[in-house]
Amino acid sequence: MEIKEREIIDKHRERAKGSFSSLQKFVVDQKSCNYCGCCVSACPTDVLAMGDESPQLIGECNECGICYLACPRTFLPMTQIQEWLFKTDVIPPLGSYIRAALASSTSRKILDRAPDGGITTTVFTYLLQNKLVDAVITTGKQHDGAWCYHPRPMIVTDPADLLEAMDRKYDPNPLLSVLKEAARFKKVAFAGLPCHVLGLSKLRYAAHAYEEILPALYKTARKLTSNIDFVVGIGCMCRMGKGTWDVMLREQGVKSEKEVKRHYEERITGDYVFFLEGGGEARVGHRRIINNPHPMCFLCSDYDGYFSDTTVDRSEYQEYSTVLIRNKKGENIFNQCLEKGLVTTRDLPDEGRDFLESMTPVLQSLVDFDAYGYEQYLKVGSFLTESTIRDMMGHFENRRLRGIPENIFLELLKKYPQFEFAKKKRKELGYENPDIY
């Protein structure tokens, strides 16, 4: 273990002696909690629960400090995880992968409910039906109806339930809070956003590397992750502030999410189109959506599930997803689905790479601009996006990139004006940043 890593771990091991009070002081009060739910599963005495915005103590803390040590927003050894999984300490844009493809489910039943290509649902249905896994950790809905953006962590054993869990959910989601419950299954597949994959990956790495230096975390991590067999990362731009979609739908005359029977993100404009039960349609513009980012996303250092087996992300084509296959396990499962005719692929365009390279310095310069009004959030608790910057960040119509270049462009657009700017501004204002190394 390198000296830098040992010094960081020693610092956090000392802080962890404060147990939940340390998690409150150094994560929640520092406005860096990402609401992933990892601490809830890590607590050995089950006295933590997820509140509306952060974990809450609901019983007597035994002061073990595991919740603090497990949290991905205290310290996160990304370079070490990358080297452990991919034998290199360099994390390229989009993460390491061995194959990229555009893919779509061949099931009309799945595509009719999917906002993209339906790949995650198709693959998980195949795994469950063929008893290649015993259960799936995924995100369901809090409310009945064709569409619900309120997420509910769930463990699925019946493939039919995967259809009910489909579609995007935009509110914060404590998905890792069900890891302890899922430990009763022998083999489990997992699908989550990059923030969830990072928290899971920290635990999996702890179960590999921390037996001597952090033995309590090591034992807990082994119990929680030894049965995780296959991980899908879902590409993410940014979550919305809690309850934002209620407001935006009402602005369009939609009184309740129950009126929505289907929705998708229009590829040309980036607008979200909602088909209503009465036959009408509502449209929420992309520039409106980026007005209300969730603060937890500004410290996210992964946008595509770098440490998953397979990443499923958006593409330029409405019923196709970009699939990044990261290792042999992911490749084997994807090939099985291809051979059985469960998915279909098409050529992945590679247009605009030269333009992307010329634009990269411009994107990097955005670290000097408060594109989303994050400074105001740190000071008063609300965002104020400057109109010119908002238009630039939300300008979909004239994009010149397709395929992998487009996804890299979006990643850089997230990295510099969100992550890098947030770190810099937090330091200026006296906030502490997570140790990401």
pLDDT at position 395, please? Answer: 56
Contact partners, residue 144, CB within 8 Å, separation at least 6:
none
What integer pLDDT is reported at residue 74 of this predicted model?
98
Neighbour-count burial of 36, counting CB atoms closer than 10 A to its CB (0-12 exposed, 13-18 middle, 19+ buried): buried
Tokens encoding 357: 């390279």
Percentage, residues of the chain above pLDDT 90: 74
Per-residue pLDDT band at 398 (split at 50, 70, 90): low
What is the model's pLDDT at position 1? 74
Does the pLDDT at position 399 exceed 70?
Answer: no
The three-class DSSP label of residue 21 is helix
Domain ranges of the chain: 76-239+294-348, 243-290, 353-424
Q: Are 209 and 84 in contact (CB under 8 A)?
A: yes
Average pLDDT over residues 401-419: 91
Q: Which of 153-157, 217-221, 369-373 has the lowest mean pLDDT?
A: 369-373
Question: What pLDDT, on a 0 to 100 scale, did the predictor assign at position 329?
Answer: 98
**Cβ–Cβ under 8 Å, residues 235 and 312:** yes
Q: Evaluate if residue 397 carries a pLDDT over 60.
A: no
- Residue 191: strand, helix, or coil: strand
Q: What pLDDT shows up at residue 75?
A: 98
Instruction: Choose the most confident range, by mean pLDDT, from 20-34, 250-264, 280-294, 363-377.
Output: 20-34
- Which pLDDT value is given to residue 394? 59
What's the mean pLDDT when you consider all of the chain?
93
Q: Which structure tokens are listed for 69?
A: 């040590």
- pLDDT > 90? residue 27: yes
* pTM for the full predicted model: 0.95
Instruction: Please give the Cα distance from 134 to 167 (Å, whole number).
Output: 22
